[in-house]
Structures are given as structure tokens and as C-alpha cells.
Amino acid sequence: MATPMKYICLFMFLAILTIAGLNQVDGAGECGKNTTPDMEAFKMAPCASAAQDENSSVSSQCCARVKKIGQNPACLCAVMLSNTAKSSGIKPEIAMTIPKRCNIADRPVGYKCGAYTLP
């Protein structure tokens, strides 16, 4: 009689684990399921000088990256405010001006990004 009880307990334990696993949320961050703002920030290397000095020219490579990431304003915001960007010396108030400096027509004008607003 003790052996069937062990199997019942084992079955119940496995059932609970399965149910808990099925209810788990596999959410995506601001930049999607397979990346993070910090990972995307590394791809923004061509924007480094433009994000530190508002008088610096913005390269075509930078504009291409900003245009791509800017299709998701929440991701663009998270990248500009990421730990990687901050540790690289990026100034968020200047980085926010890059989409406008790139003349991106469909940029998210007025999008609130923390304490900043995209011009």
C-alpha cells in the first residue's frame, strides 16, 4: 500500500510542476524576445560621438540603426537610457535629438522617454 502512495505523490508533484510551467509567462522586453536594450545599444556604436555632442555630425550608419530601432519607440527609448549607453558616456538629452538630426520623417515625435521627449 505504501508503494502506490509514493506513485500518487510523485504524479501529483509532476502535475503541479507541469501546470506551473504552463502558466509561466515568456514575455518580451522593450526590444523583443531575443534581445535587450543593452544588446541593442552595442549596435549603436556608430552613434557614439553624435550622442555625446549635439554639434557632431551624424553618420549614415548611425541614422540607419536609429531608423531601424526607432520603428519601436519603446526600444529606442530603452536603448538610449540603457546602462550600456550610460556607461559609454552617452548623454540622453543629446541622444534623443539623433532621429531629428537624421531627418527621419516617421520618427516618434513627442514620444515620452523617461524625463525626455523625442523632438
Structural domain count of the chain? 1
**Is residue 108 domain-resident?**
yes
Does residue 66 carry a pLDDT above 80? yes
| pLDDT of amino acid 2 | 59
| pLDDT of amino acid 37 | 95
**Is residue 91 domain-resident?**
yes
Q: How far apart are CA 62 and CA 103, in angstroms?
A: 12
| pLDDT of amino acid 5 | 53
Nearest residue to 90 (alpha-carbon basis) of 22, 11, 19, 37 = 37
Secondary element (H or E) of residue 112? strand 112-113
| pLDDT of amino acid 3 | 58
**Is residue 102 domain-resident?**
yes
- CATH number of the structural domain spanning residue 64: 1.10.110.10
Q: How far apart are CA 11 and CA 108, in angstroms?
A: 53
> pLDDT band at 15, cuts 50/70/90?
very low
Asked if 66 contacts 79 with a C-beta cutoff of 8 angstroms, the reply is no
**Is residue 9 domain-resident?**
no
User: What are 113's strand-pairing partners?
Assistant: 116
Q: Higher model confidence: residue 108 or residue 9?
A: 108
Does residue 7 carry a pLDDT above 70? no
**Is residue 113 domain-resident?**
yes
Mean pLDDT of 105-111: 92
| Distance from the Cα of residue 12 to its chain's centroid | 39
Domain that includes residue 106, residue range:
33-118
Neighbours of 2 (CB within 10 A): 5
Q: How far apart are CA 8 and CA 18, in angstroms?
A: 15
Does residue 23 carry a pLDDT above 90? no
